Structure 1
Amino acid sequence: MTVPSRPIKLMAQIYRKVLPDVHHNLEKWKDKALAIPDAELRKQALASIESKTFHCEGGSIYSLLAEGHRKEIIAFIVAYQTISDYLDNLCDRSISLDPEDFRCLHQSMLHALTPGAAPEDYYRYRGVCNDGGYLQALVDTCQQTLNGLPAFPVIQPALLELAGFYCDLQVHKHVKKDQRVPRLIAFFKKNKAHLPEMSWYEFAACSGSTLGIFCIVSYAASRGSEMAQLVDRIKDSYFPWVQGLHIMMDYFVDQEEDRIEGDLNFCSYYSSDEEMIHRFKHFIEEADKAIENMPDKNFHKMINRGLLGIYLADRKVAKQRNVRVLARRLMCRSGGSALFFFVNGWLYRRIRQSI
């Protein structure tokens, strides 16, 4: 199976080959979540699947790079993204503000990338801990997939580096409100020497995506013998620009929701809408440049445009007047393929919500 390089072929493969397997895997995890003994953990596990299915659907598009190993890579992506979304819910909606608690929970994401890592009590810093083996089962699924990849020892350092950024971000952004920005600025300063010119909140956004991990694992399944030459190229293409674009769009559409919930939103730190749109355009341009040296670069360019189109098709955009106006400006900048994905995203979400 060749990697799709045109929007219509990509969407056809997503609808026929990716989404059915994603939903099959999510149903399995939903059944497991329903059996969680603790009421609060059960509630957050189910809510993360119900409200964030889109994350698994989007991430699993990378399985199209895995050729004949698509199904097992989808199983990995769905499990890993489900860990991410579940922990995000636990941290966002928790009465705990303890960084040790958040660090311990997110250790599961590093263990998921470390086959052979011994099971741990990831809940040991919080009062509730009886999840019926739910989190460990997600970790085990990831480990099993990675253990079957001959190239895994070659890619593991890059996976752990990207996951390390992600876990650090999740710890810093969920602590007491008056500690969040100072911790995130210190996190930025620690890594600033290795980054292109950007702000602390843009670096935080770049750290908050799992796309680089999914891309590397998918290629490792189909191009195992080439990964020694490819892994750093993939990592450097996706981090920071592609990942940053992904997460900034996520925050862009969530501005009103985050304001109501009192959650940190990186878009709020731009001095004006003009500056924000200017920087978004810069991220789009740099993301395009970054993937020029990637194999299957047309596929990756479509992902960039797809991210824009599908996020901007979110119902939340239509409900926020200012965001809606800015979204139109971004669509105009992003070309025909972004419009194609916008229309597809708009239709798909409304069909799903009507079923």
Structure 2
Amino acid sequence: MTTEWGAVKMTLPLHPFSLMNQVYRTIMPAVHKELSYWKKRAEEIPNQELKKQSLASIEQKMFHCEGGSIMALTALEQKDAAIKFIVAYQTISDYLDNLCDRSTSLDPRDFAALHESMIDALTVDASPKLYYRFREDQDDGDYLVELMQMCQSILSDMPNYGMIKPYLLELCQYYCDLQIHKHVCKEEREERLKSWYEKHKSLLPKMGWHEFAACSGSTLGVFCLVSYALRNDFEIRHADRIRKGYFPYIQGLHILLDYFIDQDEDREGGDLNFCCYYANDEELCKRLIHFLHEADKHTNDLPDNKFHKMINRGLLGIYLSDRKVNEQKAVKVLAKKVMRQGGAVSIFFYWNGRAYRWLQQRLAG
């Protein structure tokens, strides 16, 4: 089916079957090719701790790059460039998350310095900095700088970069602030997150501090902005619509689902989980459904709104098909209630997700 944006006709998959056909035929192979390169670079890192964490982030969080790269379809003929950007940027995100999660310093200065690389990745004229300056492990053989410069190279070739730059940096700053606040010592993190929320509260729809934190933790808005801006028919008005479309609700739905299925795991590990701050399971269920409905509503002004609504419903099915849902009795009960709100599209992605994970397990062992 063709849709129209401005005077240019374009083709995007608007049905689950056609979407997954393109994902498996074109997106996944390109993503794995990019990840293969970055894995090789990670294996060359001189410092053993940095090497360990970089390889672990690629091997254990590959699905972040796979899922995020679906956004590259919106770049149409520029999807290869979009995938290069998405994989590099997401690899930075996953690598730094590992470094912060397993940090022994719990130093917010260290976390801020590391995440300067994400801001620099979105700033084409930024020079590399000493991102590891507050930690002992420093020699990564320019791994992080090369990832950052890959992102810069894609953006520097983009005529529409100036239109999206302020929105990219806004979403990135939310993300970086979240990573800093949530990784400090347990006694400080909630208070820091609440104070951070109070600074932005007046600009947000009604939501809790933990929900704002969840909305800040997704990279989908950045991927969507970059993918569309790679196109020749991109206009400044589209940048504002994409930012408002993805932040806060679509990004919030994404991260709340991620935390929803990880509740037992995070509880056992003593990790922060934003789904644990609801009064009870009933409130959690209501808020997940609220975010789903608001995410759907906020696709209305987006170009190709049917595609983005399908992505929302796909998020629901893919996350709730994870084996971790069946391993948690209370989560399994709530998941069924939430899934009913997603309709046939979510059900399709639910079974597709289960089949894909089963196939991965068979191939792995």
Normalised to the residue count of structure 2, the TM-score between the two structures is 0.96
Paired with 1:130 and 1:44, the residues of 2 have a C-alpha distance of 13
Task: Give 1:295 shift.
Answer: 0.8
Paired with 2:89 and 2:248, the residues of 1 have a C-alpha distance of 20
Which residue of structure 1 lines up, in the alignment, with residue 6 of structure 2? Answer: none
Is the 1:246–1:307 Cα contact (8 Å) retained in structure 2? Answer: yes
Matched, 1:172 2:181: yes
Is the 1:155–1:227 Cα contact (8 Å) retained in structure 2? Answer: no
Paired with 1:309 and 1:291, the residues of 2 have a C-alpha distance of 18
Match of 2:336 among 319, 328, 340: 328
Match of 1:129 among 121, 138, 149: 138
Match of 1:73 among 82, 86, 93: 82
Which residue of structure 2 lines up, in the alignment, with residue 309 of structure 1? Answer: 317
Deviations 1:231-255 (A, max 9, x none): 0110001000000000000001111
Paired with 1:2 and 1:19, the residues of 2 have a C-alpha distance of 19
Match of 1:145 among 154, 171, 193: 154
Is the 1:151–1:225 Cα contact (8 Å) retained in structure 2? Answer: no
Paired with 1:227 and 1:250, the residues of 2 have a C-alpha distance of 32
Matched, 1:35 2:44: yes
Which residue of structure 1 lines up, in the alignment, with residue 35 of structure 2? Answer: 26
Which residue of structure 1 lines up, in the alignment, with residue 348 of structure 2? Answer: 340
Is the 1:69–1:221 Cα contact (8 Å) retained in structure 2? Answer: yes
Which residue of structure 2 lines up, in the alignment, with residue 296 of structure 1? Answer: 304
* Aligned partner of residue 226 in structure 1, secondary structure: coil
Which residue of structure 1 lines up, in the alignment, with residue 3 of structure 2? Answer: none
Match of 1:285 among 267, 271, 293: 293
Deviations 1:213-268 (A, max 9, x none): 0000000012x443311101100010000000000000011111111211100001
Paired with 1:261 and 1:24, the residues of 2 have a C-alpha distance of 33
Which residue of structure 1 lines up, in the alignment, with residue 227 of structure 2? Answer: 218
Paired with 1:157 and 1:291, the residues of 2 have a C-alpha distance of 21
Q: How does 1:70-219 map to 2 (within 5 A)?
A: 70-219=79-228
Paired with 1:136 and 1:87, the residues of 2 have a C-alpha distance of 13
Is the 1:237–1:290 Cα contact (8 Å) retained in structure 2? Answer: yes
Structure 2 unmatched ranges of 5 or more: 1-9
Normalised to the residue count of structure 1, the TM-score between the two structures is 0.98
Paired with 2:362 and 2:110, the residues of 1 have a C-alpha distance of 39
Matched, 1:57 2:66: yes
Which stretches of structure 1, 4 residues or longer, exceed 2 Å deviation after superposition? 224-227
Paired with 2:361 and 2:49, the residues of 1 have a C-alpha distance of 26
Deviations 1:322-342 (A, max 9, x none): 211211111112111000001
Paired with 2:15 and 2:288, the residues of 1 have a C-alpha distance of 24
Paired with 1:345 and 1:246, the residues of 2 have a C-alpha distance of 15
Paired with 1:350 and 1:30, the residues of 2 have a C-alpha distance of 24
Q: Could you say which structure has the higher helix fraction?
A: 1
Paired with 1:14 and 1:234, the residues of 2 have a C-alpha distance of 22
Match of 1:8 among 17, 27, 33: 17
Is the 2:228–2:234 Cα contact (8 Å) retained in structure 1? Answer: no
Structure 1 unmatched ranges of 5 or more: none
Paired with 1:170 and 1:102, the residues of 2 have a C-alpha distance of 7
Paired with 1:181 and 1:257, the residues of 2 have a C-alpha distance of 19
